[in-house]
Amino acid sequence: MTLILFNKPYDVLSQFTDRGAPATRTTLSDFIAVPGVYPAGRLDRDSEGLLLLTDDGRLQARIADPKFKLPKTYWVQVEGVPDDAALAALRDGVMLKDGPTRPAQVERIDPPALWPRTPPIRVRASIPDSWIALTIREGRNRQVRRMTAAVAHPTLRLVRWRVGEWTLDGIDSGAWVAA
């Protein structure tokens, strides 16, 4: 069994080929040349961080399928500074267009020591930004971004730091390690 922990950079598709036309976007094949592995779950093109790839279908299902409720922790740079009420709403679960989210774990964190993002996030001098660590046990489309927007703190930068027991610790952006 092969398991790869990949630190997916911003603007990289979570697939090995680009089905768009013209096929000029960066994909996993630009970083990983290991045959027979496939992503266990996805990260949006504008999200960064931990993406697990494996050749084991059962492990892939355990990681990606929401019924297993594997915790996923994101470090999220948001616009503004969430107050206690906003954090409580995230902890309780927020209402999205496709229904309520499950309760999340959330806390304010100091800005993490991360690699620079290319391109950098937009900075607005009149609006501060801050960081939260958010752990969810489901994986709807763009869920973290929609959750922070629902509490009036849009996401500026999103880095998945942990999936279950696996973490990005020590893996540079664009690099991968075999677990």
Q: Where are the domains of the chain?
A: 3-66+165-178, 71-163
Residue 21 is predicted with a pLDDT of: 67
Report the range of poorest mean pLDDT among 13-17, 23-27, 30-34, 58-62.
23-27
Q: Does domain 71-163 have CATH number 3.40.50.970?
A: no
Q: Which residue has the higher pLDDT, 118 or 91?
A: 91
- Among the listed residues 44, 46, 55, 56, the single catalytic one is 44
Collapse the DSSP code of 13 into the 3-class scheme (helix H, G, I; strand E, B; otherwise coil) and give the result.
Answer: coil
* The two domains 3-66+165-178 and 71-163 share their CATH topology (first three levels equal): yes
30-53 average pLDDT score: 95
Pairing of strands 176-178, 3-8: antiparallel
44 is catalytic: yes
Give the helix ranges, DSSP H, for the chain: 57-64, 84-92, 143-150
Residue 23 banded pLDDT, cuts 50, 70, 90: low
Distance in angstroms (rounded) separating the CA atoms of residues 15 and 27: 6
Name which CATH class applies to 3-66+165-178: alpha beta
* Residue 54 in this model has a pLDDT that exceeds 90: yes
Under 8 Å CB-to-CB from 21, ≥6 apart: which residues? none
* Residue 158 in this model has a pLDDT that exceeds 90: yes
| Torsions phi, psi for 61 (to 5 deg) | -65, -40
In contact, 82 and 94? CB cutoff 8 Å:
no
Pairing of strands 48-54, 155-163: parallel
Residue 24 is predicted with a pLDDT of: 80
